[in-house]
């Protein structure tokens, strides 16, 4: 009976160690993924040159703008 308890305790310890390692690795991957997203997501306004997140920019014919007024100023024909 003592051996069975020891075996269960051993299995639990191994399980905890593996789980902790997996969680640490996943946290690191998520952190590096977020850094990459932030670095990739900055674009430059073609009119005034200000940098802003891609999601907040206007993308017109491959050019990024910080607002519609700059888009019209830089590219009046559109
Ligand atoms: Zn601008």
Cα(40) to centroid(ligand 1), Å: 19
Helix then strand then coil, % of the chain, to nearest 5:
65, 15, 20
Quote the number of domains for the chain: 2
Give tens-digit pLDDT for 47-69.
Answer: 999 999 999 999 999 999 999 99
Cα(38) to centroid(ligand 1), Å: 20
Same domain, 15 and 34: yes
Same domain, 78 and 61: yes
The pLDDT, as a whole number, for residue 38 is 59
Distances (CA, A) of 27 to 14, 42, 50: 20, 24, 32
Cα(13) to centroid(ligand 1), Å: 57
Prediction pTM value? 0.49
Same domain, 18 and 50: no
Same domain, 69 and 36: no
Same domain, 28 and 47: no
How does pLDDT run along the chain (78 residues), one tens digit per residue? 788 889 989 899 899 989 999 999 999 988 887 776 656 689 999 999 999 999 999 999 999 999 999 999 998 876
Q: Which residues surround ligand 1, an ion (CB under 5 A)?
A: 45, 47-48, 66, 70
Same domain, 36 and 48: no
Same domain, 5 and 17: yes
Domain coverage including residue 49: 42-78
Cα(47) to centroid(ligand 1), Å: 5
């Amino acid at each position: 009976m003592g051996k069975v308890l020891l075996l269960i305790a051993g299995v639990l310890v191994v399980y905890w160690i593996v789980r902790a390692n997996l969680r640490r690795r996943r946290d690191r991957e998520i952190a590096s993924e977020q850094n990459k997203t932030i670095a990739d997501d900055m674009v430059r306004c073609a009119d005034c040159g200000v940098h802003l997140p891609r999601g907040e920019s206007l993308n017109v014919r491959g050019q990024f703008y910080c607002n519609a007024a700059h888009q019209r100023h830089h590219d009046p024909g559109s």
